[in-house]
Structure 1
Amino acid sequence: MIRTLLTAAAALALAAPALAQEAPRPVPKLVVMISADQFSTDLFEQYRPYYRAGLKRLSDGVVFPNGYQSHAATETCPGHSTLMTGDRPARTGIIANSWTTFKGPRPGEIYCAEDESKGTYKDYVPSDLHLRVPTLGERMKARDPNTRTVSIAGKDRAAIMMGGHRMDAIWFWRDGKGYVSTLKVAPPPAVVAANEAARAAIAAPAAPKPLPDFCAGFANAVKVGDKSMGDGRFERPAGQEALWKASPDFDASIAALAARMVADMKLGRGRGTDVLTVGLSANDYVGHRYGTEGSEMCIQVAALDQTVGTLLDALDATGVDYVVGFSADHGGNDLPERERERGVPSAARVDPALAPEALGKRIAGELGWTGGQLLYGSLNGDVWLVPELTGEWRTRVRDAAIAAWHASPQVAEVLTADEVRALPSPTGSPDTWTVAQRQRAAYDAERSGDLFVFLKHGITPIQAGATHGSPWDYDRRVPILFWRKGLAHFEQPLAVETVDIMPSFAALVGLPLKPGDVDGRCLDLDAGAGDSCAPR
């Protein structure tokens, strides 16, 4: 009997560490979501060997390199709306950065993050009015009023779409005004200091930034129109706010404000779990102005690594148990002029005659229409037929536009709203979806266009700089990274979606989601037999 008891006791002693290891970890006290605007998986992988700071630490966590902004509308507003809601644009209602409406308080172009009843398109009032679903922070706050949500970003649409409707603090950059808020509150000391520092930086000239050794091979000039770029180092004269934003200095300013807000508000040290979202916007401004493959982007990515590291160090200094996610709202493509020099002869800028307004004028002349503009919208996205077109006129104009676009060697596909609406919401791996399924994930019956026109791979829909917005993987594919102290590293190369981020966070904080509550699914962040998605 004694021998049996001793054997049993020894077995329990051996099992105890394993049982303790399998016990669920405490709920983190702070959830942090960082978005780097226009940071594609292509960029993430290209510079991965050179990360030394924040991106290195995140790469040592849980890595999903093939994350997808799975919808076709790969723009800033729709992309950010997926990150903390768990829903695709078809459910968030954020189908694009802007859309056209022919009714309501202000017919015309509507910005995704405005209240159109209170301003003009160019002088708009930032608002969360158009976001139709709750964010993680909202859901957590509804469960526990002690939860605080804070959103800091370089763009209003990034801050609003990640933070949601019920924020305790929201601050974003507004040109000529500095960091401002949608809340009617006086700027706290952190914002006052950030604005003073930013104004001083903008007012002073900036010397060229050092060129890291690994960037030397990217410092090759390319001619784009009458401008030369590709070998720049962010030197700028005094007073150039736009150039300050299109430099690593902008991200450093945003991250410094976020870190100061964490300290001042004592985020993660209250009675509930808090949520912080941070939108780093410089990458997008750099990508648009200089493209993705020159010295400018190389310096920017190296600086992004350092900026993220500085922010993580500030979080470490609080002693708070935090979990951080990192991703992007969309990717981006390089300048077609540089792509042609580097083995992509098909890269080109779109024929301006294909733009909806220009094509509409041509069709009006051919058909004898004298009632004004026929087509509204843009390429690689939604196109609206003016509502005055009815009956046979509507059919003739629609068919003429479709035929003209199909006849162009630069156009990949033209879909009608009826074709897209008839599709079920897409399922399965997002890397296998058709273009029509990608558009279905961004279709909203009230806001979407009558037609959807998509250019071929490598055709840039603007006449200067570089851009995004296509349904192709260089714009859809973004990295998804998670890090928490003690979280074992692993990498999953199969395709996942950015809508999976929110339910993965929800599982960690013990927030239950019923089937169908969101489009995304929880990603198991446990490298072993454990399951971080298991109910707590």
Structure 2
Amino acid sequence: MIRRTLLAAALALSAPSIAQNAPRPAPKLVVMIAADQFSTDLFEQYRPYYRAGLKRLSQGAVYPNGYQSHAATETCPGHATLMTGDRPARTGIIANNWVSFKGPRPGEIYCAEDEARGTFKDYVPSDVHLRVPTLGERLKMRDPNTRTVAIAGKDRAAIMMGGHRMDAIWFWRDGKGFVSTQKAAAPAAVVAANEAARAAITAPGAARPLPDFCAPISRPVKVGETSMGDGRFERPADKEALWKASPDFDTAVADLAVRMIADLKLGRGRGTDVLTVGLSATDYIGHRFGTEGSEMCIQVAALDAAVGTLLDALDATGVDYVVAFSSDHGGNDLPERERERGVPAAARVDPELAPEALGKRIAGELGWTGGQLLYGSLNGDVWLSPDLTGEWRTRVRDAAMAAWRAAPQVAAVLTAEEVRALPSPGGTPDTWTLADRQRAAYDAERSGDLFVFLKPAITPTQGGATHGSPWDYDRRVPILFWRKDLTRFEQPLPVETVDIMPSFAALVGLPLKPGEVDGRCLDIDGGAEDTCAPR
């Protein structure tokens, strides 16, 4: 009797420990929020001032040194990494645009179009160029009850995170509002969101309040004939482009996502649902105003609020959900302001270094009388004309490489042969060479013949600010996970955005074979539970 009593007491004492270490059931809803051009630099700069969504996410599993590890730090390839677990070399999404001299429409190709339909400027949004499945697709193949929904400010964000088999996809199209690649009529949620957005666009935009923490950086800087850096998003009526380059754009996207969560009862079906949300305003604001003025400061506060709105709507469902937050790439500030703040090397690129301009110069020097010699852009892929064959091809390539390598603003020029010969990079992404970074974005069918990279702080545009470089201000992005009752922690060592998808997959019990994706599972609970353990 005494032995039985002691045994029962021992089992009672051990039961909480056993239960504590047992894996939690799979979440009913997986949510990926991507804030376009939200770098680790921005995340850390404003971290003390978060009051809403970003504050809560900062109390989960925090990886401040996430990397879009590839060289092509653009919107399309970056979003494609988040829910596929693959780098551009596998997804096939090597850039926002690339040049093809074959196919139904030779010339420039947009990453999220079907070039067999429409033109480059009047394109038909499509998923045909994405070569790998997303998490939502993989879950639907396992369980048809899974529903996948993508909402975004940009078509390429919605398509690249949602994939090929979505139940609903809605993104903003200029002059049309939220539209879909699917032919179904707009549901009530979309109609209401479009009405609200149209009312905001057609009305003048009042100046936004300046948060106290924004005041120290609210100073004008002259860029050409334009002054910026102390703006507050005042705008006249009927200026859609200015509306998109304001916090109001994220408000509209978050509003639609909240409506869809409620109307579709996401997370309350028989399967695990997937929702992806692409918030694009930070990118439009960063391009127009740079990353270090009052405009971006106001935007980060508004982004915090928009993410908070999303999380509050998810909480209201009572559903067990897990959310990740990250970005497709970072961004760099206006060179004019950087020079004022102690970066003397900051400058805009010499326009004569652009591929088309350099090609014209080389044509004159070599006596070429045919068409355009070089296609593409700086900080990325450059294609030689298909008209160049034999000795002409070698002469033009060598002349272009020599000119770029002699230019003080150019850091490196690589050939496709050099990059193709490399193995897929390993180790932590902060240690990768430029060639490694380009190898992670190399596709034999789509990539260029040469890869030209400008030095840090050299902006490849003649106005505004941008991204797309292989440098860490464009590669480093925060990765944040949150789930109710998750034991919080912070991991400062480098991880990759391709690690997000396999981390989600482990939580929902979706097995991945070794090497099936580029990413690896991150154990996102700082407590006893191993969220990467098989379920």
TM-score (norm 2): 1.00
**Corresponding residue number in structure 2 for 1:235:** 234
> 3-state DSSP class of the match of 2:136?
helix
**Equivalences for residues 59-98 of structure 1 within 5 A:** 59-98=58-97
**Corresponding residue number in structure 2 for 1:103:** 102
Shift of residue 6 of structure 1?
2.7
1:462-484: CA deviation from partner (whole Å, max 9, x where unpaired) = 00000000000000000000001
Confirm or deny: 8 A CA contact 2:223 2:463 kept in the other structure: yes
**Corresponding residue number in structure 1 for 2:329:** 330
Q: Distance in 2 between matches of 1:28 and 1:208?
A: 41
> 3-state DSSP class of the match of 2:124?
coil
> 3-state DSSP class of the match of 1:299?
helix
Shift of residue 288 of structure 1?
0.2
Ranges in structure 1 where 5+ consecutive residues have no aligned partner:
none
**Corresponding residue number in structure 1 for 2:2:** 3
**Corresponding residue number in structure 2 for 1:357:** 356
**Corresponding residue number in structure 1 for 2:521:** 522
Shift of residue 218 of structure 1?
1.2
Q: Distance in 2 between matches of 1:88 and 1:128?
A: 17
**Corresponding residue number in structure 2 for 1:219:** 218
> 3-state DSSP class of the match of 1:276?
strand
Confirm or deny: 8 A CA contact 2:268 2:319 kept in the other structure: yes
**Equivalences for residues 263-278 of structure 1 within 5 A:** 263-278=262-277
> 3-state DSSP class of the match of 2:387?
coil
Q: Distance in 2 between matches of 1:346 and 1:215?
A: 26
Q: Distance in 2 between matches of 1:14 and 1:29?
A: 31
> 3-state DSSP class of the match of 1:125?
strand
Q: Distance in 1 between matches of 2:280 and 2:107?
A: 27
**Corresponding residue number in structure 2 for 1:318:** 317
Q: Distance in 2 between matches of 1:13 and 1:265?
A: 43
1:183-208: CA deviation from partner (whole Å, max 9, x where unpaired) = 01110011111111111110000110
**Equivalences for residues 114-193 of structure 1 within 5 A:** 114-193=113-192
Ranges in structure 2 where 5+ consecutive residues have no aligned partner:
none
Confirm or deny: 8 A CA contact 2:506 2:531 kept in the other structure: yes
1:429 aligns with 2:428: yes
Shift of residue 14 of structure 1?
1.2
1:486-524: CA deviation from partner (whole Å, max 9, x where unpaired) = 111000000000000000000000001011110000001
Confirm or deny: 8 A CA contact 2:38 2:331 kept in the other structure: yes
Q: Distance in 1 between matches of 2:137 and 2:15?
A: 39
What amino acid sits opposite 1:517 in the alignment? Answer: E
1:15-58: CA deviation from partner (whole Å, max 9, x where unpaired) = 11111111111111100000000000000000000001000000
What amino acid sits opposite 2:36 in the alignment? Answer: D
Q: Distance in 2 between matches of 1:440 and 1:206?
A: 45
**Equivalences for residues 380-419 of structure 1 within 5 A:** 380-419=379-418
What amino acid sits opposite 1:303 in the alignment? Answer: A
Q: Distance in 1 between matches of 2:398 and 2:408?
A: 18
Instruction: State, as a whole percentage, how many aligned pairs show the same letter.
Output: 84
Q: Distance in 2 between matches of 1:9 and 1:176?
A: 70
Shift of residue 529 of structure 1?
3.2
What amino acid sits opposite 2:533 in the alignment? Answer: A
Q: Distance in 1 between matches of 2:8 and 2:125?
A: 65
1:30 aligns with 2:33: no
> 3-state DSSP class of the match of 1:84?
helix
What amino acid sits opposite 2:451 in the alignment? Answer: F
What amino acid sits opposite 2:368 in the alignment? Answer: W
1:491 aligns with 2:490: yes
1:209-250: CA deviation from partner (whole Å, max 9, x where unpaired) = 000000001100000000000000000000100000000000
Q: Distance in 2 between matches of 1:45 and 1:455?
A: 26
Shift of residue 277 of structure 1?
0.2
What amino acid sits opposite 1:405 in the alignment? Answer: W
> 3-state DSSP class of the match of 1:122?
coil
> 3-state DSSP class of the match of 1:244?
helix
Shift of residue 526 of structure 1?
1.9
Shift of residue 8 of structure 1?
2.4
Q: Distance in 2 between matches of 1:333 and 1:526?
A: 33
Q: Distance in 2 between matches of 1:60 and 1:527?
A: 11
Q: Distance in 2 between matches of 1:27 and 1:90?
A: 31
Shift of residue 299 of structure 1?
0.1
Q: Distance in 2 between matches of 1:214 and 1:416?
A: 46
Shift of residue 7 of structure 1?
2.6
Q: Distance in 2 between matches of 1:279 and 1:395?
A: 43
> 3-state DSSP class of the match of 2:461?
coil
What amino acid sits opposite 1:224 in the alignment? Answer: V
Q: Distance in 2 between matches of 1:184 and 1:377?
A: 34
Shift of residue 5 of structure 1?
3.0
1:102-160: CA deviation from partner (whole Å, max 9, x where unpaired) = 11100000000000010000000000000000000000000000000000000000000
1:465 aligns with 2:464: yes
1:259 aligns with 2:258: yes
Shift of residue 9 of structure 1?
2.2
Q: Distance in 2 between matches of 1:47 and 1:5?
A: 59
What amino acid sits opposite 1:254 in the alignment? Answer: V
Q: Distance in 1 between matches of 2:191 and 2:72?
A: 36
> 3-state DSSP class of the match of 2:477?
strand
> 3-state DSSP class of the match of 1:140?
helix
What amino acid sits opposite 2:206 in the alignment? Answer: A
Q: Distance in 2 between matches of 1:484 and 1:252?
A: 23
> 3-state DSSP class of the match of 2:115?
coil
Confirm or deny: 8 A CA contact 2:20 2:528 kept in the other structure: no
Q: Distance in 1 between matches of 2:524 and 2:361?
A: 55
> 3-state DSSP class of the match of 1:366?
helix
Confirm or deny: 8 A CA contact 2:206 2:235 kept in the other structure: yes
Confirm or deny: 8 A CA contact 2:145 2:269 kept in the other structure: yes
Q: Distance in 2 between matches of 1:371 and 1:463?
A: 28
Q: Distance in 1 between matches of 2:397 and 2:130?
A: 30
